[in-house]
Structure 1
Amino acid sequence: MIGVLVTFTKTDKFDRSTLARITGELRVPFEGMAGLRLKSFMLDEDGVQARNFYVWDDEEKARSFFTEELVGKVTGVYGVPPKIEYLDILGFVDNSGS
């Protein structure tokens, strides 16, 4: 498994209600996506960083998802370019089924 942390940082704050709307609109395409185990949409408490965290089955699927075209699209959506970090997941706890 591989994690991908995508961070958008603004000099001013993100509007929480706008990000919540975006999350609702963007959620559907990820549901049932092959190779994607989970995706979360997050906003830090200061409101200056929006973060999306993905867990993928393998690195190839993760890296092939984040194309230049996709980065351009999300830059337009969030208003700033993302920082994309690939993380090796060494362990995973999932309590959602209990």
Structure 2
Amino acid sequence: MAGESPSNSNGDEKCRIAEILQHNCFPTTDRFGRDAVHCTPIPRLFRICPNGPAVEVTRVVDIDLATGFVEIPKALGQKLPKGKAWRDVVKHDPSFEAE
């Protein structure tokens, strides 16, 4: 998969697609009884547009696992949830509620 590529198939010429590769790791024991760590890569794709938050698009794009080719749907913006910038996320604290 490409690290970054323009996303103009859905009309968002200024948006781009970026990839991060995370790993899910857990401890194991190898065949000789030694401790080891087994990790599985997890690719995640994000749509990044100017003046907006990055929105994960991994679940709405088609990825060919054999070639790594990513097909972006034409109506990508309509399939995504509304995102918020971290500064706009408000955590609700129930301990401040009046009884």
TM-score by length of 1: 0.31
Q: Which has the higher strand share?
A: 2
Q: Which has the higher helix share?
A: 1
TM-score by length of 2: 0.30
Where relative contact order (Cα < 8 A, 6+ residues apart) is larger, the structure is 1
Whose Rg is larger? 2
